[in-house]
Structure 1
């Protein structure tokens, strides 16, 4: 990895670094890193990654105290910032357009809005597609939501509105449904029962809890899943096709549960009601894994003393490490120092690393990675149903670019399986299957095609 280091700690050389995120101005294309510190949030321009510019600091709210736990996410041109163990921190809202006009850095910035409906907040999750934020690990608030999902409408970013709670008392170490972190998405995975619904993958200390939060007044727990030798279910991220999640357990290495190796849990979530353990991946390091994110076919991990680790997960069942940058090269012992967070979604292909006692590092792979969200390789060619619509007889045609195992199923709009057209190994080329709808009710139907780590769905109409 090629790297540039910048010592940004509370604007000086003191304090500790924590959560981080990024933002690209959609008009100018200027690129920024948002770095949490003990006393606030630092802003660094990395439009030229080799010449980063420290722009300034947004201090913590008045009446709160310094703390290491600071987390940041973005929505539109706003940053949303929370802090834990800090007193009445709440959620700061910061208009990122302020960064565009800095002439003489560094400067001290001011908060654009302040949400006080939650006090101490351990982390923040934002679904940019829905415009909702989910504050997790809250306490000192009314309601506290049991430390679960404290749901906030941020579609008007300067006037956040509380909209509901979710907690699952069968999870969390205190039995209150405490959630340490989550990822909330508009679901586009293979479980057609939940197509288009807003789903949260919650990392709830003792289990993975999958929740349907489409109706904020009646969120619904879909499943609770555990895996062997749980220490602390900390954080995770889903593949772009929503078929797998990668989970980091923060206590398994430090408590000797993994035979002195960093472990990543790979969970198959194709059935949201019945996730299954697909793989326990062990690296050659013994560091504690802290945060991780999937971009295209790559998994970017912040593994404390082992730094940034990049894994190729095109086959989620067989991750392969392909690159790293270590901000604590002298050791990789399972202690809590080094890379707190990484951010790999910058448009200029830079990767930013926030290292607790070492500062900020901006790195870039020495060789190009195929890493856009659209770059998950597909082995499909053309898919068609003909004729469409039809009454009794039709064919589904599929072209495969390579030989592989293929599953082809038909579902009705309620998610009920109607028939399986194929499940088995197939050669490359064009294949056809007849469909006999003689006994099918009229209506819309869904085909679901699965090949390895990739799936595709589509619809057709039966008329009577």
Structure 2
């Protein structure tokens, strides 16, 4: 059953324009009337069953739904989710004061996840992103976790942002190894990635507005964490290299449109040689990091004059030749731009210096008229497993797309429990994990453990 809500690049010219002024920029704390994620949980209903799919994923079934435990009497909400060696790692967001840390769940029985540990729970901060990998360096061998740290209050001089490094070789007894900090007047690291080059370990960071608040620092950094106890910065990127009038936030594009740019997310390819930095309206920036101290900018995706930017996150497919770019647009009505919430764009990046738009994908919800600005209707994070693309879509659930032909993606199905509000998705072994901001961890199992 092919769903109709995909669009090829050739259709871009027929999209409608809006004549309304913006009220908020998705995930942009400097935007006017900023809406916090999770504020509108449960306010939007989407018709349809919890699981609707083509035969390719009819084997999926919800196996578990478990809330994270209260900490010191406080119920935190979840952010991103990651899995490693049969354990799930859930970051936490800002609800009820933050400080929720990373929650570790034993998935030995995926139908009955057990919360077994909490770590990186720094007061006055929140821990959105966690990446875990098995690494081997002269200084450390084992399972290494890197956790983003952001200040709840940027001006709080008693807290510090950046990222933490933990030994999670025993996931039930995490051990702190090191901390990399951002300047005191910067909020911290929002998203990050952990990658290896032989026996060298690198952490790539996206620190939104870092250059805006502190001219001595920059949004994208490459940090050597080969010795996790002493991480050190080896490269920082100044985006004014691309946009001379860039002030750390504002710039004008080639069409003289007012745009904003800040590093939101970052990812590396499988061998740690190329980095992809989601830089909001500047697009996805591509870097050669094969020699980290001599990192080179290669190219970037660009937006048409009438397309809102908001490059939020990325994923790779087809051996790194295809780039998935999700755009977190929560306000569909901006003067001079097409109508629509955030949707997914797919690029051919065989030539990293010249990404070519192949297609894009919208849900029915992303084209809903008459709704107020809200995160509930926009795409969020992408993950790829083989020829299947998984997209977390907040209240619209987790969507699964067939990208065998990247020029013509189509929806295989979706998973959307009642009142769900999904931040992240992760596919591992025979299960799909989804982090529901309001109600914790969802585990969806494949029958017989078959791959897509």
- TM bin, normalised by shorter chain, reads 0.5 to 0.7
Q: CA–CA distance in 1 between the matches of 2:326 and 2:267? A: 13
Asked whether the 8 Å contact 1:168–1:221 carries over to 2, the reply is: no
Mapped to 2, the partners of 1:254 and 1:32 lie a distance apart of: 38
Whole-angstrom distance in 2 between the partners of 1:96 and 1:143: 35
Asked if the contact 2:105–2:113 (Cα under 8 Å) also holds between the matched residues in 1, the reply is yes
Aligned to 2:22: none
Higher strand share: 1
- The 3 A distance-change label for structure 1 pair 100 and 41 is closer
CA distance in 2, matches of 1:323, 1:158: 44
How far apart in 2 are the matches of 1:258 and 1:46? 43
8 Å contact kept, 2:144–2:168: yes
Change over 3 Å in CA distance of 1:54–1:118 after alignment to 2 = farther
Asked whether the equivalents of residues 398 and 415 of structure 2 are also in contact (C-alpha less than 8 Å), the reply is yes
* 1:34 matched residue in structure 2: 89
Give the 3-state SS of the residue equivalent to 2:267 in structure 1.
strand
Matches for 1:38-437 after TM superposition, within 5 Å? 38-39=98-99, 40-61=101-122, 64-67=123-126, 70-76=128-134, 77-86=143-152, 87-99=159-171, 111-116=176-181, 120-129=188-197, 131-137=201-207, 139=210, 145-148=217-220, 150-169=221-240, 170=242, 173-174=249-250, 178-185=262-269, 198-206=273-281, 207-228=283-304, 229-251=307-329, 254-255=332-333, 259=339, 263-286=343-366, 287-327=377-417, 329-330=418-419, 338-344=421-427, 346-347=428-429, 349-366=430-447, 370-371=451-452
Q: Distance in 2 between matches of 1:258 and 1:358?
A: 34
Cα deviation digits, residues 422-457 of structure 1 (max 9, x gap): xxxxxxxxxxxxxxxxxxxxxxxxxxxxxxxxxxxx
Greater relative contact order, per chain length (Cα 8 Å cut-off, separation 6+): 2
Name whichever of 137-146 and 172-181 sits farther off: 137-146
Higher helix share: 2
Between the two proteins, the alignment pairs up a number of residues equal to 336
Cα displacement (A) at 1:135? 1.2
TM-fit CA distance, 1:83: 1.9
CA contact (8 A) 2:204 2:267 kept: no
Alignment root-mean-square deviation, CA: 2.8
Alignment check: 8 A CA contact 2:104 2:172 kept: no
Instruction: Show the counterpart of 1:405.
Output: none
Higher Cα Rg, which structure: 1
Structure 2: runs of 5 or more not aligned: 1-59, 93-97, 135-142, 153-158, 252-259, 367-376
Shift of residue 143, structure 1, vs aligned partner = 8.4
